Amino acid sequence: MSTLSWTPPAPARLGITLETHIMEEMRGTPGATGSFTSLLNLIGMAGKLISSRVRAAGLADALGWTGQTNVQGEEVQKLDEYANDVLCTVLERRSHCGMLASEEMEEPLLLGPDPRARYVVLFDPLDGSSNIDVNVSIGTIFAILRRDGEGLGPTTANDALRPGRDLVAAGYIMYGSSTVLVYTTGHGTGVHGFTYDPSVGEFFLSHENIRCPPRGKTYSINEGNSSLWTEPVRRWNAWLKEDAKPEGRPYGQRYVGTLVADAHRTLLKGGIFAYPADTKSPSGKLRLLYEANPFAFIFEAAGGVAIDGTQRILDLQPTGLHQRTPLILGSKDDVADFEDFMAGRR
C-alpha cells in the first residue's frame, strides 16, 4: 500500500511544467482572463531567480565576497532584500497587481490606479533567512487576494486586511535539497508540488494532489520555549512524549526552525507544527497575513487544519499588515488533540 500522501505523476503526466499545470487549471475556470495564470507564472519565475541566488550564496562566502561588496566591487545584497526586490520587480509587471505587501516592507507597495490591477499579493520573501549561513532550508511564502466588483477605486492598504478564507491562491517555494514550489487555488482544486530542474530552468510536476494524512507521528515545536508555554500547552507536550505505544506515542520531535521546512514536512507526512502564544510572544511569533494564512489555506485544501489555538486561522479578521498570531498546523486528528488540551477536555 502506498504510504505517499501525494500522487507521483503517471507516465502520461511526466514533464508537465508549472506553466502547463496552471494553464490546465485556467481552462477549467469559466470566465478566466489569463491574468491570474500570468500572475502565478510570474511568481514561478521569481522563485527561479531567488533559487539561483540562494544556491550561490555559499559560494559568495567561499570566494571571499563581503556582506556589502563582492570582488568586482558590486554591492552584494542580503538575500532577503534581494528576494524582496525580485518579487516586487517581477510582480509589478503586466498590471496584474494593485498592491504588494511584504514582511520586508513596513508599508505596502501601492502600484497605481490601473483598473485591471485586481490582485493583492502578500509575501514573506525569504522565510528563515537566519538559517542561510548554516545551509538549512529556507523559503518564500505567498498569498493572493483578488478585488472583485466593478468601478473599483485605487487599491489601498485596507485591501490586504481580509480574512484568509478570501484568498484565491497560496503557496510556497522551498529552497532545500531541491527547490520545490507548492501551490493551491483552493476550492477543491487540490494542492500540487513542482520540483525545479535548474538544468532546463523549469518546475516539473512532482507531487500531484498532496493530501495531509489524518494523523502523523511527529510534532514540531521549539522546546526551548517550554518554560514560556501556558499550562495546557505543557500538558499537551508531555502527553505527546508519554511512552504509550498502543496509542502511537511518544511522537518523534522534528524542528528545523524554518516555517516553510517544518510545514512542508508536516503537509507531506502528517503530524503537527505549533508556534503557540507564550509569555514572551503573547500574540504568537508568526505573521498572520503572509505566513499563517497561506499555510492555513494550503493545509485546509489538503485536508489538514490550522488554528490559532482555539479559532480557525482563515476566519481571523486582520487589523494590521504585520500582526502576529499563534499557529497550530497539521493533521486534523493531531490538531484536534491539541484543541482538546486547550479547551480543558484532557
Q: Does residue 325 bind ligand P6P (CB under 6 A)? A: no
For residues 88 and 292, which CB has a smaller minimum distance to ligand P6P in the complex?
Answer: 292
Of positions 222, 230, 253, 323, contacts ligand P6P by CB under 6 A:
222
**Cα(20)–Cα(22) distance, rounded to whole angstroms?**
5
For residues 17 and 258, which CB has a smaller minimum distance to ligand P6P in the complex?
Answer: 258
Question: Which residues contact residue 234 at a Cβ distance below 8 angstroms, ignoring those fewer than 6 apart?
Answer: 226
Count helices and strands in the chain by DSSP H and E runs: 7, 15
Sign of the four-CA dihedral 163, 165, 169, 173:
positive
Sheet holding 327-330, edge to edge: 252-253, 218-220, 272-275, 327-330, 305-307
Size of the residue set binding ligand P6P (CB under 6 A): 9
Inter-residue contact 271 to 251 (CB < 8 Å): yes
For residues 130 and 209, which CB has a smaller minimum distance to ligand P6P in the complex?
Answer: 130
Question: To the nearest whole angstrom, how small is the minimum distance from the Cβ of residue 326 to ligand P6P?
Answer: 12
Inter-residue contact 121 to 153 (CB < 8 Å): no
Question: To the nearest whole angstrom, how small is the minimum distance from the Cβ of residue 70 to ligand P6P?
Answer: 26
Strand partners for 145: 120
Q: Does residue 130 bind ligand P6P (CB under 6 A)? A: yes
Of positions 237, 258, 293, 331, contacts ligand P6P by CB under 6 A:
258
Question: To the nearest whole angstrom, how small is the minimum distance from the Cβ of residue 314 to ligand P6P?
Answer: 19
Q: Does residue 127 bind ligand P6P (CB under 6 A)? A: yes
Question: What are the grid coordinates assigned to 273, written together?
Answer: 507544527
Site string for ligand P6P, 150-189 (x = CB under 6 A): ----------------------------------------
The SS3 assignment for 162 reads coil
Contact residues toward ligand P6P (CB under 6 A) are: 127-128, 130, 222, 257-259, 262, 285
